[in-house]
Amino acid sequence: MKNNFFLFLAIFLFSSCISAADPFKFETTDIQITENGNFIFANNGKAISFDNNLEIEAEKFKYSKELDQLEANNNGIAIIKSQNLKINFDEMIVNEKISIIEANGNIKIYEIEKDLLIETSSVTYDKKNNILNSATKSIITDKYKNIFNVDSFYYEISKHILKIENANFKDLDNNIFKTSIAYINTKNNKLFGKDIKAYLNNKSFNKKNEPRLKGNSVVHDNEDTIITKGVFTTCKKREGKCPPWQLSAEKIHHDKKKQLINYKNAWLKVYDTPIMYFPKFFHPDPTVKRKSGFLIPTIKNSPNSDNWLNVPYFFAIAQNKDATFSPRFYNDDKILLQTEFRQVNFESNHLSDFSIFKEKNKDTKTHFFYNLNKNLFVKNFEESNIDVKVQQTSNDTYLKANKLESLLIKDNNILENSFGLNLYSNNLSVDTQFTVYEDLNKKKSDRFEYILPILNLTKKINNKTNLNGEFLFTSTNKIRNYNTNIFEKINVNDLIFNSDPKISNMGFYNNYNFIIKNANTDTQNSEDFKEDENYYLSGIFQFNSSLPL
């Protein structure tokens, strides 16, 4: 024990003597001095600069007095206290003659005060000028978790200026930006770059879109992105060809707080041809779910010259109501104006869609679709609601010819006008609907189908018999008229009994049920039922037995 104490004391005193003579002092488990003090070898510990500003921790050290150079290897950590820098490395060379530090292998640089992380394979630190630089591919992560992949960087720490080249970076919304050269102010995290290309996250767009923009220069931070001489489109890339449409502007400003993209002196171009000029123009950014502004335009180009441009506008009228205006601009003397209106109240939902189509020297064409769903409060029923549908068009081929789209347009050939009432309680449910269908493909005399009404009723019946189980009565009623002279009146009644299950002594799970069915029809010219009045009575009994394992 005494021998170990004297050995440690000897090493400590020896390292103290070295510290006084050389620019580094060593706190290590072992140390060797060779060639009359020209070389120092040390293992497992720390090397601390004479001014205490640089502290290096590693497994192996080699110091050359002649070169005034320190080498550190294996699991290294260097701390530059004056700059709040922490550098992880595999190999490091500190040249005190020229005040240069070189590090290689699995490098991670933490600028603690600015929450900045740089990952690279090789870096040089100029101690005199306080500059970090690397000519190797690097990954930089700022305090907002923006990730920059760069070919090289040059960081003037005292001036807070980080220069990056051929940068590819991703923000928190997974938008990807590319720039040939950029400067980042690490104090306020503002980026200044040129030759910018941005590929926006596609989650808020149609999956067939490729939303992107490019410009001459960009100023970017956590709140704003400003691009000069910018071009925006969502069209898919076409090799060697211009996109079908694009917005070009003198300035494009993405305000992330207001979630708006603003354009100054913007032109809407179709196949590189200017179509419409906007001194000021804006639309919500891709993260917005509900905000007034222009939506993504669409364009149709067909061989029959029936080309049009659609520039929709979403209008958030109130918290519970909004509308989408979708004007179509054709290349000849006609225009189509379509509007979809939505309103959600506490007990009702309203949805309507209507349009007007005007063509020179021809009659105006229109359509109107409406859907109402409203909850009611009917005594003795736990749930009750009505559903109303109104669908009208002024022309048989109007919907199909113009390919109108809406949440309400399910079929371009079939119109439905209906009224439905649904009532529900634990013992009784009633569903009834009055419906008129119109098939626009058929001639006038045969196009209508009337179902006035269809009624479904389900009733639980109190069991006053000696049978252990539950009685249920169901009734389905339909009155139908179609193809002008086909009439059907159908009434089907079922009395259903489901017994309570029993488990036998041998473990079998048994129950039974039976159905008494009564069907009544009264038809004319029907292909599905016999002519005139008909009555049927039938029954079925079923016994069920199973052995659970």
Res 240: pLDDT: 63
pLDDT in tens, 362-403: 899 999 999 999 999 998 899 999 999 999 999 999 999 888
Q: How far apart are CA 487 and CA 101, in angstroms?
A: 96
Q: How far is CA 335 from CA 20, 105, 330, 396, 409, in A?
A: 90, 66, 6, 19, 20
* Alpha-carbon span 123 to 138, nearest angstrom: 10
> 6 pLDDT exceeds 60?
no
pLDDT in the model for residue 287: 67
> Which pLDDT belongs to residue 408?
92
Omega into 23 within 30° of 0, i.e. cis? no
The whole-number pLDDT of residue 296 equals 74
Percent of the chain with pLDDT over 90: 60
Q: Is the separation of the CB atoms in 313 and 324 below 8 Å?
A: yes
Whether 17 shows a pLDDT value over 60: the answer reads no
Structure confidence by residue, pLDDT tens digits, 206-252: 566 778 888 999 998 888 889 999 988 877 777 666 777 888 999 99
Q: What is the mean pLDDT of residues 190-202?
A: 86
- Asked if residues 493 and 475 have their Cβ atoms less than 8 Å apart, the reply is yes
Upstream peptide bond of 453 is cis (omega within 30 degrees of 0): yes
How far apart CA 107 and CA 114 sit, in angstroms, is 18
Q: How far is residue 139's CA from residue 148's CA, in Å, rounded to a whole number?
A: 6
Query: Who contacts 248 (Cβ-Cβ below 8 Å, separation ≥6)?
Result: 229, 230, 231, 232, 266, 267, 269
pLDDT given for residue 19 in this prediction: 42
Q: Residue 6 has which token pair? A: 């004297």
Q: Does residue 436 register a pLDDT over 80?
A: yes
pLDDT in tens, 311-347: 888 898 998 999 999 999 887 788 999 999 999 999 9
Q: Which DSSP helix (H) or strand (E) runs through 4?
A: helix 2-21
**For the chain, what is the mean pLDDT?**
88
- Listed ranges 20-34, 67-81, 164-178, 297-311; the one with the highest mean pLDDT: 67-81
Tell me the helices (H) and strands (E) count for the chain, helix number first: 2, 36
Tell whether the model's pLDDT for residue 502 goes beyond 60: yes
Closest CA to 313 of 289, 287, 283, 337: 283
Say how far apart CA 374 and CA 345 lie, in whole Å: 9
- pLDDT at position 305 is 55
| Ramachandran class of 82: left when φ > 0, alpha when ψ lies in -120 to 50, beta otherwise | alpha
- 487 near 480, Cβ under 8 Å? yes
Beta bridge partners of 413: none
For 521-548, what is each residue's pLDDT tens digit?
999 999 888 899 999 999 999 999 998 8
Indicate whether 354 pLDDT > 90: yes
136 contacts 153 by C-beta, under 8 angstroms? no
Q: How confident is the model at residue 351 (pLDDT cuts 50, 70, 90)?
A: very high
CA 508 to centroid of chain Cα atoms = 53
- Per-residue pLDDT of 398-428, as tens digits, reads 999 888 989 899 999 999 999 999 999 999 9
Confidence of residue 204 (pLDDT cuts 50, 70, 90): low
CA distance 30 to 21: 18
Residue 9 clears pLDDT 80, i.e. is over it: no
Phi-psi region of 412 (alpha: psi -120 to 50; beta: other; left: phi over 0): alpha
Cα angle, residue 148 at apex, residues 147 and 149 outer, rounded to 5° = 120
